[in-house]
Every structure is written in structure tokens, then in C-alpha cells.
DNA sequence: AATGAATGAGTATTCATTCAT
DNA sequence: CATGAATGAATACTCATTCAT
């Protein structure tokens, strides 16, 4: 009787299943994904999958949650603990983060939110509270810190932190729909950050 | 008075059906929309719908096409025939167009492209060729015209006309997902246009 | 206003339609044939077709009837009026008739009777009474005439005239299913007739 | 006592389903048979049926195959292993086999091949290769064996083994269409075999 | 815990038939 | 007579979910 090479540990199961589900959703969307297929990808029987997630919708929600929250946590923590100047944050870690989004699993989650959001209001609420709000807060905090220490002049941008991540969002979706070659996303994001910083710093040094 | 079971109105049928289909797709997405429901909304029998559109997919494509192309035509024509300055175009008609998008049927089409695009490559190609390319060309033309007559300095923006419409796109999707109250889309769009124009005109007059 | 080259005459319509129907049934069978298609082949609108034949089934029955009865009439008349000997009939007109069946419209009708008969008992009865019975009678008459004038010895064949046309029937169906090249139908039919005549004439000339 | 909603019996399922399908096809033909009905007859849900047979057509083909091949195998084996004389084979096992066909499931299969063959060319090919060819070979072998050991004289029948089974085929179809009472199939088949054997043995003992 | 056989409600599509014109 | 737009019942097939083992 051959014993399994690696005894699967129960604790990893949910994670393995949501990973498989994300991959499946990425390829076929929510409606287009069969629970059977997710189970097969996860190397698990359908019955077991239903032991962990009571419905397909529940699985969907778990996927959404498990993929975005950690990233947002990292972003918020990073902004709070850094000793970089505001501009350095924007041109450094934020720029890097934004460039990494197109083509990443985040893109998949974004697409799912767009296409399925209307049917899952509680998920939208969750996403708004735990992702969008916290992300926007982190951005707003950064900008206001810049204003307070004289890097930036006061502008309406403080109230519209969306302005900063727009190109990342745009790139994510554009890449998703039209393919990776269809847009130079790095350049778009860099240029946009540059433009906004110019605006935030305007008249700097215009003397007199 | 029983309503007539048969009513002839051949000419308008396709339009009536695509209108109904857009509404249905808006509410439920592609997969979530039943052909039966579209027919009912259009006040037409399922059989007749199939007389005009051979499959649900065909109907879907017709919807996408019939709603976007006219708007792009108008945009392109507007840019070509106007005698406004480049900045006036950006702050006038373009701004107005962009503000009108969130909440309009275009939003629905955008969502459909995002969620269903992967499954309909020919539709993506069609959209890229007939909507994105032509729209981007119109924007690029406008910016370059501004550069040529001295309004704007030469910048990388000429190569990235996407920079201009990003906030409209962002607003459309944000509104779609999080609802109309979740973002001041007008302000976002205005501010962004303002920021970009500042960038395009930067050193104007700094001289001496 | 160009006038139609040939004014279609009303009287021919039913015939034109059953012709078209036979062709359609031949290609697709009964269930596989669309009324629309029959109408198109006949160069007639669907509505008009329904003016002549109240249902698809009615059309089907008309087709069956219109194609077999004339041939049977000819066969019966031929047998009754001929002055050939019995053997001459078998080796002459009957052989010729049988050879002509495979590949002819009769084959189509036979297939339709086989596949659809169970669902149309009245048609089966009609066919039995008007085709099979009369055909068998003609054959029996021929054989018995041969017996009476000493050409043949009395055998059970008189009671089983089916024995004579079996190879034609077999050839019709075989050709229908396996294609025209799959069997030398002429040889099969000739040989069979030869065998039967040998049997009918057996001890002829065995002296004593 | 409510019956169990779930019953496991994996091994027999395909057989149970093809049996039910044969019965359904026998009654209503291919097009006239609803998959739902087959499932109900088999005491199985539609979904399970589709687990075993991907489409209705596939089920149809499985039915055809599973019912004819075993019989042909038996025929071929019988001919090869027997120590009967050729005539004894014809008058014994072959006669018996042929008499058993009218009214048996084989009749159903024959009808299905006739009515549906045109739409399933691969099935026709399969049938030709696995049923017709092998059956004809067995018959030819028998006749030639008879010729070789002096029972029969050499005739064209060796090349037309179809001559032998014709009456069985005819009886099958006739019974199918016109009902069991319409023809004395046993007598037809016996007489025909008799006639052919007479032909094969002619002149035997005609001495001089 | 784990499996996968079994279920059946749900849906796109077809096509005979009707009837306003 | 003639047309073909319009109807809707009928049906193959899918897939989330359940449960005997």
C-alpha cells in the first residue's frame, strides 16, 4: 500500500481551493466557471469542496476577500511606518505597486467585481469598506502629509485621492480586455504620477 | 378589449430588441440574461427575436455595436470640423462628453466588454478597431493640433491620449460598481483635465 | 412592371408542392424536413402551402399516395393486358420494373414507410390495400396463369408472391443505406428471378 | 415507505440505459424519442444519462452497436466451428437464426439504420464493416465449403451471399411495417432457402 | 473526513402553425 | 389567393447541489 508522498494537511485546503477558484474565475468568469472544474484544479472532490464552502457564491466571496485584503494591509502599513517624504512615497513604493497590478491576480478580482458586483451587494459593501476606503485613506494621508510639510501646495487632490491610482486601474482593465501588448502601462502610470506631482508642486520655486 | 395577438411592425423590431437587450444585460449581465426575458421586454415572442438574431451571442454583439459606434462617430466628426482651439476642445466638448458617460448606456457596454470580452475575441477586435483606435486618434489629433499652434508644449501625452479619458473610464466603472453616490465624478473629471492642461502648458510665461 | 414569364397555374400547385416535399423528405426524412424548406423548394410561400395541405402530416400522406399508386396501376394494367407467357413476363417487364426501383423515388417512399409507418397507421392501411395487395395479386395472377398453361408446376410460390419482388425490395433498401456502389443490384435481381424460375419449372423434361 | 432518491448501481447503468433507449427508439424512432423518456424508462435521471452518453446521438450509436455485434459474433463463430455439412448449416442454424429475426430487437435496429443512416455516415460505415461484411463473409464461406466438398455446384451465389438472407431481411421489415400477422415469415424463409438449395444442387443425380 | 454517483430545475433554440396585411 | 411576420410549445443539454457509501 503506497502512502501518499505528501500528506495533505487539512489546514491548507481552503487556501488551495480559493487559489484554484481564482485561476478558474480568471479564465472563465464567475458564471462560466464550473464547481467541478474548481474541485479538479484543487485536486479535491466536489463533495469536499462543498464541505468548506456551502455554495458557489460563498466560494466566490472567499476568493475576493482572500486576495485583496492582504495587499491593502501591506499598503496601509507601508504608508504608516515609512520615513520617506510624500513625493518619495509616490515615486517609490506607490509607483512600484501600481506598476505591478496589471496582469496580476488583482486584475482578475477587479474584473470579477465589475462583472458580478451588481449581483452581490454585500460583497460590494465589503470591498468598499475594506479595500477602497482604506486604500483611499492611505493615499489621502500621504498627500496631506506632503502638504503639511511643505512639499505640496493644498489642492483638491486631497479630496480626490482616486486621481492617483486611476492609471493603475485603467491599465489593469485595459490589459485584461485588450491584452498585455495593447498599452504601455508602465509609461502611462509613470507619466501620470509625474503630471500629478507637477500639479501638486506647481509654482514651487517660481520665486518672488 | 383583447389586445391583438399579432402586430406587424417589421421596421422597428431590431432596434426595439437591442434596446430591450441592453436593458436586460445592464441588469443581469450576459450570462444572467434570459433570451425569454429580452423578448418579453421588447414585447415580442422568443421566436421573432430569433428571426432577427440567430443566437444570443449575435444579439449581444449587435447591442455592443449599435450603442458605441454612433457616439464615436459623433466625437470624431466633432473634432474634425470644429474651429475651437485645442484647449477649448478639451475644456468644452470633450469635458462635456466625458461627464455624460457615467450612468449612461455606455457604462453598460463597458461593463459587458470587461466581463465578456475574453469569450468574444472578435468583439474585442471590433471594439479596438472601431472604438478605441478611432477615439484615441481623435484625442491625439487634438493634442497635436495644440502643439502645432503653440498652445501646448510637446510632451509624451501625444503618445498617450489615454491619459485624457482615464477619469471618465474610471468614473463609469466606479459608478457602475459602487453606485452613483460613491464618487463626485464631475469633479474628478474636471480636476483631471485641469491637471493635464497645466502640464501641457507648463512653462508658459515663466520666462524672463 | 415586369410580368411573370410563366403564369403559374393554380392546378399545378399541389403537384409542385408534393414534388418538392418528396425531394425534401428524401434528403432529410420526415422529421428532419422543415415545412419552410418544402415551401421554398416549391417556390411558394409557407402560407400558401398550408392552404393546400392542412398539416405537415397531410402533406406527407399526399406525397406517399401520389407516388406509388400510378406505378402500381401501370403494373396491374400491364399484367392484365399482356399476351406474353408467364416466364416472359417475369423475365421481361417485371425484371425491368424491379431493376428500375433502386435509386428511384420509390426508394424514398419505401424509406418513409419504414421509418414513419408506425406513427401513421391509416397510411399503412392505405399502402397495404392499394399497393401491396394489388401488387401481390398481380404477381400471383401471373404465376397462376403460368401454372394453368403448363409453364410452371404448382408450388407454394403461388401463395408467396413476395418471393419474387424480395430482391428488388432488398436492393432498394440496401442502396438507400449503404450507397449505390455497395451492391450489384441488377445481378442480384436477375439471379434471383432465374433461381425462382428454375424452381417453378424444375422437373421439366425429366422424362420418364 | 418512500423509495430512496439515490440508488447506486454504477456497473449496470450503461446497459440499463441502452436497453431503455432501444425500447424507446423502437416505439418512436430516433427523432421522436425524448431523452427525458429514455431516462424515465431506465429509472434514472436525465443528468445521469448524460454522464454516460454525451449526446443523444452517442446514445443512439451505442444502442446500435451493442445489439448487433454480439449476434454477428455468434453467427461467425458458429460457422467456423461447426462440423455440419453446408446444406445442414443452411437448413439448420442459419434457418433458425433467420426465423428468429422478425419481431426481435434486431428489427428495431434495422429500422433505425434505414431511417437514420443517412444522417450518421460513421454509423453506416461501422455497420457495414462490422455487421454486413462479416455476415456476408460467413455466408460466402459456408457456400464455398459446400462447393468444395461437392455438395453444391459452383454458381454465382458464391458472389451474392445476400441472396440467402434476403427473405429474413424482407420479413423483418415487412413485419415492422405491416404487423406480425401480415406475412407468414417462417414459410417465406423456409421456402426461399429450399429454392436456393435446389438451385445450388441442380442436376444432382440427373444422370443420363 | 472524503468521494463521486445521482438529481432536476433552468435555458437556448427550433419549427409547425396562424393570421394581419 | 398570397405573403411572411409572429407565436409558443416542445426539447436537448448543463451544472449547482445532495447524499449513500
Which DSSP string corresponds to B129-151? IIIIHHHHHHHHHHHHHHHHTTS
Which pLDDT does position D7 carry in this prediction?
67
Do residues A189 and A174 make contact, with C-beta atoms less than 8 angstroms apart? no
Whole-number Å distance, CA B44 to C1' F8? 11
Does D164 score more than 60 pLDDT?
yes
Do residues C172 and D162 make contact, with C-beta atoms less than 8 angstroms apart? no
Whole-number Å distance between alpha carbons of B103 and B96? 14
- DSSP helix/strand/coil, C46: helix
Which pLDDT does position B6 carry in this prediction?
66
For residue range D10-69, what is the model confidence (pLDDT) as tens digits? 678 899 999 999 999 999 999 999 999 999 999 999 999 999 999 999 999 999 988 888
Whole-number Å distance between alpha carbons of D115 and D28? 12
The model's pTM: 0.85
Whole-number Å distance, CA B6 to C1' E15? 18
Mean per-residue pLDDT, B3-31: 84
Closest nucleotide (C1' vs CA) to B50 is E13
Which among A27, A170, A206 is the nearest to B166, CB-wise?
A170
Whole-number Å distance between alpha carbons of D172 and D103? 7
Do residues B48 and B109 make contact, with C-beta atoms less than 8 angstroms apart? no
For residue range C144-184, what is the model confidence (pLDDT) as tens digits? 999 999 999 999 999 999 999 999 999 999 999 999 999 99
Do residues A160 and A185 make contact, with C-beta atoms less than 8 angstroms apart? no
Which residues of chain D make contact with C176, given a CB cutoff of 8 A? 114, 117-118
Banded pLDDT at B106 (limits 50, 70, 90): confident
Nucleotides of E under 7 A from a protein CB: 1-21
Which pLDDT does position C166 carry in this prediction?
96
Does B84 score more than 60 pLDDT?
yes
Which stretches of chain C score pLDDT less than 50? 1-6, 205-208
Is D9's CB less than 7 Å from nucleic acid strand F? no
Does B171 score more than 60 pLDDT?
yes
Which pLDDT does position B197 carry in this prediction?
96
Which pLDDT does position D2 carry in this prediction?
43
**Exposure string over D77-106, b if 16+ CB within 10 A, otherwise e:** ebbeeeeeebbebbbebbbebbbebbeebb
Which among A124, A167, A196 is the nearest to B177, CB-wise?
A124
Which pLDDT does position A207 carry in this prediction?
42
For residue range D92-146, what is the model confidence (pLDDT) as tens digits? 999 999 999 998 888 889 989 998 898 888 889 999 999 999 999 999 999 999 9
Name residues whose C-beta falls within 8 Å of residue A149's C-beta, 6 or more positions apart in sequence: A85, A86
Which residues of chain B make contact with A156, given a CB cutoff of 8 A? 187, 191
Per-residue pLDDT in tens (0 to 9) along chain A, 208 residues: 444 444 555 668 899 999 999 999 998 999 999 999 999 999 999 999 999 999 999 999 999 988 888 888 888 888 889 999 999 999 999 999 999 999 888 888 998 999 889 888 888 999 999 999 999 999 999 999 999 999 999 999 999 999 999 999 999 999 999 999 999 999 999 999 999 999 999 765 444 4
Mean per-residue pLDDT, B170-199: 95
Contact criterion met (CB < 8 Å) for C163 and D119:
no
CA contacts within 13 A on the Cβ side of A87: 14
Whole-number Å distance between alpha carbons of C192 and B90? 93
Provide the greatest CA pair distance for chain D.
84
Which pLDDT does position B5 carry in this prediction?
61
Which pLDDT does position A65 carry in this prediction?
87
**Helix C13-28 × helix C56-81 angle, to 10°:** 100
Contact criterion met (CB < 8 Å) for B156 and A113:
no
- DSSP helix/strand/coil, C184: coil
Amino acid at each position: 500500500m503506497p502512502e501518499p508522498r505528501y500528506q495533505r494537511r487539512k489546514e491548507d485546503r481552503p487556501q488551495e481551493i480559493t487559489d484554484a477558484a481564482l485561476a478558474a474565475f480568471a479564465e472563465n468568469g464567475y458564471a462560466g466557471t464550473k464547481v467541478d472544474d474548481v474541485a479538479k484544479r484543487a485536486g479535491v472532490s466536489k463533495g469536499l469542496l462543498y464541505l468548506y464552502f456551502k455554495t458557489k457564491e460563498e466560494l466566490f466571496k472567499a476568493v475576493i476577500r482572500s486576495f485583496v485584503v492582504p495587499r491593502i494591509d501591506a499598503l496601509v502599513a507601508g504608508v504608516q511606518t515609512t520615513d520617506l517624504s510624500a513625493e518619495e512615497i509616490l515615486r517609490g513604493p506607490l509607483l512600484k505597486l501600481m506598476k505591478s497590478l496589471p496582469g496580476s491576480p488583482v486584475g482578475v478580482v477587479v474584473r470579477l467585481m465589475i462583472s458580478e458586483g451588481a449581483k452581490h451587494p454585500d460583497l460590494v459593501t465589503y470591498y468598499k469598506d475594506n479595500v477602497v476606503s482604506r486604500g483611499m485613506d492611505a493615499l489621502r494621508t500621504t498627500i496631506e502629509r506632503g502638504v503639511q510639510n511643505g512639499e505640496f501646495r493644498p489642492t483638491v487632490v486631497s479630496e480626490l485621492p482616486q486621481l492617483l491610482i486611476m492609471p493603475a486601474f485603467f491599465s489593469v482593465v485595459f490589459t485584461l480586455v485588450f491584452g498585455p501588448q495593447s498599452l504601455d502601462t508602465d509609461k502611462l502610470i509613470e507619466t501620470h504620477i509625474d503630471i500629478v506631482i507637477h500639479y501638486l508642486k506647481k509654482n514651487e520655486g517660481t520665486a518672488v
